[in-house]
A and B are shown apart, each in its own frame.
Chain A
Amino acid sequence: MSHLVIAPILLPAVLAGLILLVARGIALQRLIALAGAAGFLALALLLAGRGGAPVAYHLGNWPAPFGIVLIADGLSVLMLLLLAVVALPVLVYTMASGWDARGRHFHALFLFLLAGLAGAFLTADAFNLFVFFELLLIASYGLMVHGGGAGRLRAGIQYVGFNLVGSTLFLFALATIYAVTGTLNMADLAQKWPLLPPGDQALARVAAVLLLMVFAVKGALVPLQFWLPGTYAAAPGPVAALFAIMTKVGAYAALRLGWLVFDAGPTAGMWAELLQPAALATLALGAVGVLGSRDLPRQAAFAAIGSMGLVFLCVAAATPGATVAALYYLIHSTLAGAALFLVADLAGRRGASGPVAALFMASAIAVAGLPPLSGFLGKILLLQALEAQAPLIWSAVLLASFLTILGFALTGSARFWKARGTAPTAAEPLALAATGLLLAGLVAMTLLAGPLTLWLKGVAEGLADPAPYIAATAPQSGG
């Protein structure tokens, strides 16, 4: 039964290999990729149906601190489900729009990216987290330059270069952590971290800050966000939509390790102290960027930066209430950001026709956080959770929202209302439907906000009380 835990990694990885080996024609590739994404969704639902108790999978049945452990707990399952829900419409859009036929290997890379993301969400070993980060990054390098073109390749080089530096920092951090604690298993780390001798505490703090920098690179936190606007604006539209969840990996890792390990002993409260000003700066930069961009993909990229600012603001607060807000806004901003990237791609390829304009308006409302869509509820949750620091944070969040609305209103009217030039061609119905499906997810989040926050509360409580997570890592007989 516990083999279910590793299935979300194996299924896309095996299917990706299958595509590379046997599927020459695009039709067969599409079929396998669709089956992979649908199967991934089914596996995520199966895992979610098991309830919130952490389940462990010991690779090779090695006992815990020596072997690698995968753990599916509330947070992991939530992220897997979100990934599946984003991946399926994006895949359908890619097929409908013909993006996948503009180069080879789109579907294999897509499935490898799913496998890497699933592994990063499931692993309970810090070095294994690095390996899965690299797996998802190398798939994303291929996807980013999919379709070719000199401009895209050169933006891709910046992206790869920036992330290679990030990977090097990750390795320095992990080696330092290993040098002071002698372990890289997350549960084992959680137990050893508060007990470090005074002589090692300075090194431990250095390692914690290095690790936070790595997650800030992934999560596009100021001042490490430079790679994002160029990459997301130059990447093919559907790939940028899929990347909307890749920035969230940084937030996931910060939540996971922040709660489990680093909010104790020599580093208690340190991440929060560093994260808050960075998150506020990210929020401001995202809002100003949205106001200042003139083309839609770039604007969507800055909106993604701004949403990461909001998520990290809640992560920095490090209370269960703020974590619920962070998770709610994380889900919302992933769906809304992906929809906005797809709309930007539609408008770029097919022109500003009526249905595209309507989808743009809906996704802009969602991203800016206006009622009636879920961004509004997410921001209310966030403001409530951060009430203690109201004067600073409330004014920053509200001002950033205002600038974002203004930016979208400006491009919206210039691009869709007063559209000039060539007449738009009708967009593919299936592509419109896929974008609409993401927005329908937002409507569902709004209507089902009560049960959803209840579920998220359970996830946040699971993070605040690491005892079951640590207990699940311990070897079980016959497990």
Chain B
Amino acid sequence: MNLLIAVTIGLLTACGVYLILRLRTFPVILGLTFLSYAVNIFIFISGRLAPGLPPIIDKAAPGYTDPLPQALVLTAIVISFGMTAVLVLMAIGAHLGAGHDRVDLRDDAEAGE
């Protein structure tokens, strides 16, 4: 189970980093989304894996899983979702304004002079 989750986080991060290095905005946004998935799982397991145990008080429970990372990951999901939405809107605006969706700024510097 530990190995499976570690490999998943590694794969998601690798995909995210590769996509971020692309030249167009859409793959970059997808890459950032992959990275935020990876970090969300990472936060989730930072309280260690405890399968089948409740996070809140239960008289019959043999032990507990750490509830705090679940609260943290909820915050992180909301924030990364909001940020991605902002970035998507800005990317659409820039695409419509400039007629292409390349990430680099060279054309604008020339056009601005």
| A468 interface residue per 8 A CB criterion | no
Complex interface: chain A residues within 8 A of B91 (CB): 157
Instruction: State how many angstroms separate the Cβ of B44 from the closest Cβ of chain A.
Output: 9
Complex interface: chain B residues within 8 A of A155 (CB): 105, 108
Complex Cα gap A160–B84 (Å): 9
Complex Cα gap A403–B98 (Å): 36
Complex interface: chain A residues within 8 A of B112 (CB): 151
Complex interface: chain A residues within 8 A of B43 (CB): 171, 174-175, 178
CB interface residues, B 56-113, toward A, < 8 Å:
68-69, 72, 75-76, 79-80, 82-84, 86-87, 90-91, 93-94, 97-98, 103, 105, 108, 111-112
Assess A127 versus B72: contact at CB under 8 Å? Given A176-B46, A178-B46: yes
Q: How many residues of A contact B (CB 8 A)?
A: 31
Judge whether A150 and B98 touch: CB under 8 Å.
yes
| A461 interface residue per 8 A CB criterion | no
A161 contacts which of B28, B68, B72 (Cβ < 8 Å)?
Answer: B28
| A394 interface residue per 8 A CB criterion | no
Complex Cα gap A154–B98 (Å): 9
CB interface residues, B 18-40, toward A, < 8 Å:
20, 25, 28, 32, 35-36, 38-39
Complex interface: chain A residues within 8 A of B87 (CB): 157, 160-161, 164
Complex Cα gap A156–B95 (Å): 12
CB interface residues, A 142-173, toward B, < 8 Å:
145, 148-151, 153-158, 160-161, 164-165, 167-168, 171-172
Judge whether A154 and B108 touch: CB under 8 Å.
yes
Complex interface: chain B residues within 8 A of A440 (CB): none
Judge whether A165 and B105 touch: CB under 8 Å.
no
Closest to A150 in B: B97
Complex Cα gap A169–B111 (Å): 35
Complex Cα gap A475–B83 (Å): 35
Judge whether B32 and A165 touch: CB under 8 Å.
yes
Judge whether B46 and A175 touch: CB under 8 Å.
yes
A151 contacts which of B69, B103, B111 (Cβ < 8 Å)?
Answer: B111
Closest to A171 in B: B39
Complex interface: chain A residues within 8 A of B10 (CB): none
Instruction: State how many angstroms separate the Cβ of B19 from the closest Cβ of chain A.
Output: 11
Complex interface: chain B residues within 8 A of A127 (CB): 72, 75
Complex Cα gap A138–B83 (Å): 7
Complex Cα gap A285–B39 (Å): 32
Complex interface: chain B residues within 8 A of A167 (CB): 79-80, 83
B97 contacts which of A134, A153, A168, A178 (Cβ < 8 Å)?
Answer: A153
Instruction: State how many angstroms separate the Cβ of A479 from the closest Cβ of chain B.
Output: 23
Complex Cα gap A210–B93 (Å): 33
Complex interface: chain B residues within 8 A of A158 (CB): 103, 105
Complex Cα gap A175–B38 (Å): 12
Assess A156 versus B90: contact at CB under 8 Å? Given A161-B20, A175-B39, A178-B72: yes
Judge whether A171 and B103 touch: CB under 8 Å.
no
Instruction: State how many angstroms separate the Cβ of B63 from the closest Cβ of chain A.
Output: 15
Complex interface: chain A residues within 8 A of B38 (CB): 168
Complex interface: chain A residues within 8 A of B80 (CB): 164, 167-168
Closest to A160 in B: B87
Instruction: State how many angstroms separate the Cβ of A295 from the closest Cβ of chain B.
Output: 9
Complex Cα gap A341–B72 (Å): 38
Complex interface: chain A residues within 8 A of B68 (CB): 178
| A131 interface residue per 8 A CB criterion | yes
Complex Cα gap A174–B72 (Å): 10
Complex interface: chain A residues within 8 A of B98 (CB): 150, 153-154
Complex Cα gap A158–B109 (Å): 14
Instruction: State how many angstroms separate the Cβ of B18 from the closest Cβ of chain A.
Output: 13
| A179 interface residue per 8 A CB criterion | yes
Complex Cα gap A148–B97 (Å): 10
Closest to A159 in B: B90
Complex Cα gap A155–B25 (Å): 12
Complex Cα gap A160–B20 (Å): 12
Closest to B35 in A: A168
Complex Cα gap A165–B91 (Å): 16
| A99 interface residue per 8 A CB criterion | no
Complex Cα gap A134–B83 (Å): 9
Complex interface: chain B residues within 8 A of A151 (CB): 105, 108, 111-112
Complex interface: chain A residues within 8 A of B36 (CB): 164, 168
Instruction: State how many angstroms separate the Cβ of A22 from the closest Cβ of chain B.
Output: 24
Complex Cα gap A179–B68 (Å): 11
Complex interface: chain B residues within 8 A of A165 (CB): 20, 32, 35
Complex Cα gap A148–B91 (Å): 13
| B47 interface residue per 8 A CB criterion | yes
Complex Cα gap A294–B84 (Å): 35
Assess A164 versus B75: contact at CB under 8 Å? Given A153-B97, A157-B103: no
B108 contacts which of A138, A148, A150, A176 (Cβ < 8 Å)?
Answer: A150
- A–B Cβ pairs within 8 angstroms, 9 of them: A134-B79, A150-B98, A153-B93, A161-B28, A161-B87, A165-B32, A168-B38, A176-B46, A178-B68
B-contacting residues of A (Cβ < 8 Å)? Answer: 127, 131, 134, 137-138, 141, 145, 148-151, 153-158, 160-161, 164-165, 167-168, 171-172, 174-176, 178-179, 230
Which 4 residue pairs of A and B lie closest in terms of their CB atoms, listed nearest first? A150-B97, A175-B46, A153-B94, A179-B46
Q: A148-B93, A164-B32 provided; 12 other pairs, C-beta below 8 A?
A: A127-B75, A153-B94, A154-B97, A155-B105, A157-B94, A160-B87, A161-B32, A164-B80, A175-B42, A175-B43, A175-B69, A178-B69
